[in-house]
Amino acid sequence: MNAELSPKATEIAAHARMLLAAGGYNSFSYADISDRVHISKASIHHHFPSKAELVQIVVARYREEAREGMAVLARQFDDPLAELKAYADYWSTCIRDGTSSFCICAMLAAELPMIPSEVADEVRGHFQDLTNWLASVLKKGAAKGQFHLRGSPDIEAKSFMATVHGAMLAARAFGDPKTFQAIVQPAINRLTTVA
């Protein structure tokens, strides 16, 4: 699903992504995008016949970026602990700088019962991609003695992922970017401490 988009469609998708991060699927309409991109709603429909199609494409592109980011971390570090910290630091920086304060798939996951199935499938796919990557990092780290897992790598990966997404939510709720790192760092410490 890595279709080439025209420059205008790319701009529409970028604004949709920002709106998704701010409030999820049901928080915006084509009128909101029209105001931001300065084109008619009919022109948006020309590029994306339905909101479901637009959001599916945005999430598919987001998934691809995330997979590429995970692959970069895997190539960049031969140290699972450094890889895990780099992932957490990525989000910490995004939240602090305001460049991406919330994972759009985490936002959409809260709406799963109410969003179109094609979008829900992409969201579930992202969570599976992230779980698989985190589990592989934790497994490698456990083999090197860096991580001391209390459960299977899959369960520990899901637990860490839930902590990261919960920390995003807490940072947003408290209006304090430092809250993110204050929650995530103890989770990393727990993984590195012998039970």
Range of the domain at 69: 59-192
Residue 37: inside a domain, yes or no?
no
CATH number at residue 161: 1.10.357.10
Residue 29: inside a domain, yes or no?
no
Neighbours of 128 (CB within 10 A): 11
- Furthest CA-CA distance within the chain: 59
Residue 13: inside a domain, yes or no?
no
Residue 81 CA from chain centroid, whole number: 20
Neighbours of 102 (CB within 10 A): 20
Residue ranges of the chain whose pLDDT lies below 70: 1-3
Residue 78: partners with Cβ closer than 8 Å, 6 or more residues away: none
How far is residue 139's CA from residue 179's CA, in Å, rounded to a whole number?
28
Q: How many domains is the chain partitioned into structurally?
A: 1
- Residue pair 184/166 in contact by the 8 Å Cβ criterion: no
How far is residue 117's CA from residue 104's CA, in Å, rounded to a whole number?
16
Residue 38: inside a domain, yes or no?
no
Sign of the dihedral through C-alpha 103, 109, 111, 114: positive
Residue 151: inside a domain, yes or no?
yes
Q: What is the pLDDT of residue 1?
A: 47
Q: Which residues of 77-99 are buried (b: 16+ CB within 10 A; e: fewer)?
A: eeebbbbbbebbeebbebbeeee
- Residue pair 147/138 in contact by the 8 Å Cβ criterion: yes
How far is residue 21's CA from residue 185's CA, in Å, rounded to a whole number?
23
Residue 48: inside a domain, yes or no?
no
- Terminal C-alpha separation, the chain: 43
pTM of the complete model: 0.92
Residue 121: inside a domain, yes or no?
yes
Q: Token digits for 142?
A: 């456990």
How far is residue 79's CA from residue 163's CA, in Å, rounded to a whole number?
21
- Residue pair 9/48 in contact by the 8 Å Cβ criterion: yes
Q: What is the mean pLDDT of the chain?
A: 94
Residue 88: inside a domain, yes or no?
yes
Q: What is the pLDDT of residue 174?
A: 96
